A and B are shown apart, each in its own frame.
Chain A
Amino acid sequence: KQEVTQIPAALSVPEGENLVLNCSFTDSAIYNLQWFRQDPGKGLTSLLLIQSSQREQTSGRLNASLDKSSGRSTLYIAASQPGDSATYLCAVLYGNKLVFGAGTILRVKS
């Protein structure tokens, strides 16, 4: 069964810290991997998309890496801000199906 796991489940950091969110997947035959942000009671906002042939993608203070052989992806957030507080979801595309992890709840304290 294709499973996606995110660690940690929750994270609380002071403002300004650099942090890493982890995502692992059991089946390495992926098409791509997408990181999303979800604010409470809201929909999903796409942050970064990494194709299976890529190693990393960057957008502003965000950097996502992909290691297919080990079944892992990391989302690096630099200089965290209170506005970064949200749930971060990792999703892996297998064929026509997007499989989600349970998410990491991030709280950045001012």
Chain B
Amino acid sequence: NAGVTQTPKFQVLKTGQSMTLQCAQDMNHEYMSWYRQDPGMGLRLIHYSVGAGITDQGEVPNGYNVSRSTTEDFPLRLLSAAPSQTSVYFCASSPGYGYTFGSGTRLTVV
């Protein structure tokens, strides 16, 4: 039982490049979310999903896309990276009560 797995752990992108942050969970949780953590800002919700095929926007969705084709996977896509997207990204899942977080992806956009 691996819990919530995020890949990669570290990534450096150039401005304008695209990439996908991967998130997978093996606990059969319906709810999955993406957060970004910035110094002094705490964790802010980017997008979330309440089940396969259902996604919605959080507090800071601009510049990010998500999809949920399976219960297990919830990838986060950056279509055209900007320096403002330099952050630590966390994926989380929940059965409807209590969240489990992945270990994070540290992204730097130069």
Judge whether B40 and A102 touch: CB under 8 Å: yes
Q: Does B74 contact A (CB under 8 A)?
A: no
Q: Does A42 contact B (CB under 8 A)?
A: yes
Q: Among residues 17 to 51 in chain B, which have CB atoms less than 8 Å away from a CB atom of chain A?
A: 31, 33, 35, 40-45, 48, 50
- The interface residues of chain B lying within 8 Å CB-to-CB of A89 are 42-43
Judge whether A32 and B42 touch: CB under 8 Å: no
- The interface residues of chain A lying within 8 Å CB-to-CB of B45 are 97-99
Residues of B within 8 A of A (CB-CB), count: 23
Known: A44-B90, A102-B42. A96 touches B31 (CB 8 A): yes
Q: Does A100 contact B (CB under 8 A)?
A: yes
- The interface residues of chain B lying within 8 Å CB-to-CB of A49 are 97-98
- The A/B interface has a contact count, at CB < 8 Å, of 51
For chain A, which range describes its interface: under 10, 10 to 19, 20 to 34, or 35 or more residues?
Answer: 20 to 34
Q: Does A26 contact B (CB under 8 A)?
A: no
Contact segment of B61-69, B77-85, B99-107: B99-107
Q: Does B76 contact A (CB under 8 A)?
A: no
Output the least CB separation between B64 and chain A (Å).
Answer: 16
Output the least CB separation between B18 and chain A (Å).
Answer: 25
* Interface residue from B48, B56, B97, B100 paired with A51 (Cβ < 8 Å): B97
Judge whether A100 and B90 touch: CB under 8 Å: no
Known: A43-B104, A96-B31. A34 touches B98 (CB 8 A): yes
Residues of chain A touching chain B, judged by Cβ–Cβ distance below 8 Å, are 31-32, 34, 36, 42-46, 49, 51, 89, 91, 93, 96-103
9 new A-B contacts, CB < 8 A, other than A32-B98, A100-B43, are A34-B98, A42-B104, A43-B103, A44-B101, A49-B98, A91-B43, A98-B99, A100-B42, A101-B42
